[in-house]
Structure 1
Amino acid sequence: MDLDTISGLEEFALGLALLLLPVPFLLFGAHQGHKLLAGSPGLFAAVVYVTAFLASFWTRPPASDAIQWLHTLASAVPLLLLVPSVLALRSKWLSVVHLLTLAGVIWSWFIGAMFIAHDGL
């Protein structure tokens, strides 16, 4: 593995940690029957992030604008899912955990776009 790949894997692991670390706490603090909704922003963002990482192996520089816009739109969906997720929680104080999810969504959008565009990390 070259140095760029190792650096990319470190950034990839950090993004996944930010997205998936809050999920167990949110699942535990959700109303009965709304557990998946409570963890949906982090889970959906993780799927988009993994897809962007895998898409970096398919695309060749320069990446098409359509792929980059698709990634940006898909990365915006977890932001829309934050409101129903907060409403699904038993204690609204637990929604503070979503600050990690928000940081993870921003991080995964930025690093995922770099993966797709093949910009240096």
Structure 2
Amino acid sequence: MDSAFYSALKSFTGSAKVYPVLAPDDAVAPMVVYQRTSTQRDLTIDGLSGLVSASYRIDIYATSLKAAQSLSDTVVIGLSQHKEAPINYITIDNEFDGSDLSGDPKLFRMIVEVTAHFNL
């Protein structure tokens, strides 16, 4: 599931590096960091159906607000149109400017929250 999401995300980030959970200390912007924040598995009377919804938080970093917003827009548009097995579709739940929370005054951050719907 996470590897399929990584592949989908990576296909829309261009030359920006993509890291799961935490970027290394020597990472250079632009970069994208993502983590799974929740998982819901669909149950039927016979057990697991194979349908899974996984929520992800995506932090997009760049050296200017305009660059962070542009990369965020590209990621949002790409993910919202992505339909490649095992991902059935991806919904965009929320997106916002988090640059004042990054901890590094030289970096700007956009935050995107999505839910990927899988058939595993």
Normalising by structure 1, what TM-score? 0.35
Higher fraction of helix: 1
Q: Structure with the greater relative contact order (CA < 8 A, sep ≥ 6): 1 or 2?
A: 1
Higher fraction of strand: 2
